[in-house]
Structure 1
Amino acid sequence: RAGGVTLAMCVASILGVRLIMPRIISVFTLDQETLLLVAMAVLFAFCGIAHAAGLPLTIGAFLAGVSLSAFPVGANIRKPIGSVATFFTAVFFVALGSLLPAPSGQSVLLAILLGAVVLLLTPFVVVAASLGLDISRRAAIESGLMLAQAGELALVVAIFGYQRGHIGDDLLAAMAFVTVGTMMLTPLIATEAIAWRILDLIPVKLPAPTDRKDHAVMLGCGTNSRVLLDLLLLSGLELVVIDEDPAVAARLRERGITVIRGEAADPRVLAAAGAPAAKIVVSTIPRPSVNLRVLKHLPPGRLIVRVFEAHDERKLRHAGAITASEAEAAAEEAARLILKA
């Protein structure tokens, strides 16, 4: 019976994530309070079914989360449920502290070893799997660093095993130390600086540095950059595009455009594109930190970058970039439309 109920809940979760919840979000205009009620109703429904079937409540809660995780449902529900989740997370850890026995030296040593395995092995596995799927190297590294922790679900499973007599006091205490410790350390290690240091260690296949001069280099070529791409092609300059996305690279190569796959701020990639000797380098990358790294490898006044915030514009100009403000462009376009009307 329990197996059949679990299978039915898995099917319901898949239907919820693919069909039911996205349809509800797209058809009905729900305010924040109603979204919270919908999320809580789904959670209690799955947990109630799990309890009635004699299954662990964690299974019901996990499948409920899966049914609410897909875009745009997850993005819409995350905000209203965030404050509730923060409150109950604090209650959860306070209650956990009352259950834990005093740690022994053996449990502390075990926690250190398990924590080291989680922190060191998880990023390696995630990066290796991501690179095998042809995902961006930087995205793979950042994901691996963010996932280098034992989450609350692992601790809930450990508590469940402790209550059933499958694990003892020392292992429960060690699991608690690993979970809390890795959750505290993750924000310290999942930084952009560490991600770039790891990125520099990963070998990348690139063409030899080019001897091109007075050409144009475009950093990033997403959907919103097609107009800029066409303008650069019409300029008559030889164009080289740097983009990490394999789909974008394939599309541009079909048009006969030279593409180098890699991270735009990687000096090896910039050298392969001949960016230091280019006549103009245009960046469509919205992250100011990436553009600031690019500027370290280019002569002053060579990089043109669009900005969205005034403080970012000041930083980039001070570093030697030519900035194009999105706000100014929007205002000029509005004025043009008004005069035309």
Structure 2
Amino acid sequence: MANAETHRPPKRRRWLLRLIFIALLVSIALNFYFYERYKSYFTDGNDPIEHFHSGSKVATDKIAVIKVQGVIMAPNTQRILRRIQQAKDDKDVKAVLLSINSPGGAVADSHEIYHRLVELRETKPVVAHMKSMAASGGLYVAMGAGEQGKIFAEPTTWTGSIGVIIPRMQMIGLAEKVGVESTPIKTGPFKDALSPFRELTPAEQTVWNNIIDQAFDRFVNVIADNRVELNVKEVRKLATGQVYTADDALKNKLIDKIGYEEAALDELLTRIDRKPEDVRVITYDNQETLVEILLGSAQASHPDAQWQFAMESTVPRPMYCCSWLSGLTSGPFGRN
């Protein structure tokens, strides 16, 4: 015991060590704070970050690779749109390669990305490259390459799945078993038209069929407008909702060539009359700031977060999407 007392640091020294430790933590926190303030002052924290992909590291002229990965829904959509805008605004970007690996997603999101690509291709050539999957909404955004652009697919790519669906579960039997009855207070006959606790009425089916019919017609027309060798009638024959292999897609004129990313980049080099050593191929990445990470954690732990998620999951969303989840319907409620 005496030895322990002898080797214990003096009380004043212990307090000094604690103060140094606290000062260190405060210093680290202040450094994070001032770094975030610096970024927010000099740059937009949401701006995509440019990364070298291939080619010449010192070349001024650039080819931008814009990746469309995963389901096309928020917040993924906003990141893709910011990448398109950055490529459009950057005068050094001479062409764009749209790299797609997506089963599709929301109707509105797919169309917004396509719309921005149409604006982009007015000033810069766009070529699309499909990776493992570019189905439904993934095919929709590929049409952003336009008539003059080319669409490449890898030998093992799945594409097609042309159609629209609103996923809907029917839980009438389950509700009866557990004794649950839905009695919403509503202002009109169609306000709860997609309730999973009852059958759709003929009038409701007509209303929702009209909605998805319009989305389906838009999909068909977008393909017909951008594929020179296909007209509306021919596209409708392909729009059965089925998935096509790369070979089938080529035979049906949905794509132009079967090849990998290098072939798509070579096509762009030809379009802009450049050699591989004359350009720097870059990609974009969107990184969350420290503030966004902290705010995201705070929102996730908010007591209303689970309620908000539950409410959002019941919102009807027309989808250009290829997924087994699309089969969670009460019956034939889709268009192809």
* Greater percentage in helix: 1
Rg larger for: 2
Structure 2 length-normalised TM: 0.22
Structure 1 length-normalised TM: 0.22
